[in-house]
Amino acid sequence: MTVPILEAKSIVYSYPDGTPALNGVSLSLGAGEKIALVGANGSGKTTLLLILSGALAPRGGEILLRGEDVSGRASALNKAAGLVFQDPDDQLFMPTVAEDAAFGLVSKGVPAREARDAAVSCLESLGARRLAARPPHRMSGGEKRIAALAGILVTEPEILILDEPTSGLDPAARRNIVKTLENMDSTMLIGTHDLDMALGLCDRVLVMHGGAITAKGAPKEILTDGALMRKNGLDLPLRYSESENL
């Protein structure tokens, strides 16, 4: 059997104020898989994504990268995994969107000009070439999200960790993002409330509830199971809901 690219074993985390967030989460990502992480508000998705990208250190458990134990080695995770934050304000910091989107490539040693061209063409593929010269702190929420996505997608990380990539986007912007993700080879773990995206894009779905993974399986099997979804504080994807959730 091939070694998973990323594996988590019994991850435990509570925040410094004592709030418990993860109580023994295990998962495994095969190379090239696109996995959706769904769950109600506060179920632990963001905390898990921060830990798997090396932005937060777990209080217990193990993380393996290509079979090698990298627990306590955030730099190994940072290098392999690109994280798009749930809140774009946590990520955007350069004076313009193009500079911001080029930053990741520049810091990997790509010449500035080349990095900028790649950033602009990534913005173009997201239908957002118009944002290149704009200051990120003076844009709308959706525009900021697209800019934040561009900065990570352009680096084509081996593992792409996305926290609510389609939240707050209009239908055209959402379609551009989903299409771009569809065409990328990176292994993906996507925290999302966009169940229709999970259904159309992902190979597998993990359901979180109360800081644990409570169900996993094929998207159609999990996301169309009304009883399972409701038990986990969720509803059916819109295309299966027949307006019953409105």
Q: How many angstroms separate the CA atoms of 153 and 115, rounded?
A: 12
What is the CB-side half-sphere exposure of residue 164 using CA atoms within 13 A? Answer: 19
Answer for which of 47, 176, 187, 232 binds ligand ATP (CB under 6 A) is: 47
Listed ranges 44-52, 145-153, 168-176, 226-234: which one lies at the site for ligand ATP (CB under 6 A): 44-52
SS3 155: coil
Contacts of 212 (CB under 8 A, 6+ apart): 22, 23, 24, 25, 44
Nearer to ligand ATP, 69 or 89 (CB): 89
Q: Is residue 166 close enough to count as binding ligand ATP by CB under 6 A?
A: no
SS3 112: helix
Taking CB under 6 A as the rule, which mask of x and - marks residues 77-96 in contact with ligand ATP? ---------x----------
Nearer to ligand ATP, 47 or 155 (CB): 47
Evaluate whether 201 touches 33 at the Cβ level (below 8 Å): no
Q: How many angstroms separate the CA atoms of 103 and 13, rounded?
A: 30
Q: How far is the CB of 159 from ligand ATP (least distance, A)?
A: 18
Answer for which of 27, 36, 43, 237 binds ligand ATP (CB under 6 A) is: 43
Answer for which of 34, 35, 38, 45 binds ligand ATP (CB under 6 A) is: 45
Q: Is residue 65 close enough to count as binding ligand ATP by CB under 6 A?
A: no
Q: What share of the chain is helix, strand, coil (3-state, %, to 5)?
A: 40, 25, 35
Site for Mg ion in 25-64 (CB under 5 A): 45-46
Neighbours of 168 (CB within 10 A): 14
Q: Is residue 226 close enough to count as binding ligand ATP by CB under 6 A?
A: no
Nearer to Mg ion, 86 or 187 (CB): 86
Listed ranges 24-32, 79-87, 201-209, 214-222: which one lies at the site for Mg ion (CB under 5 A): 79-87
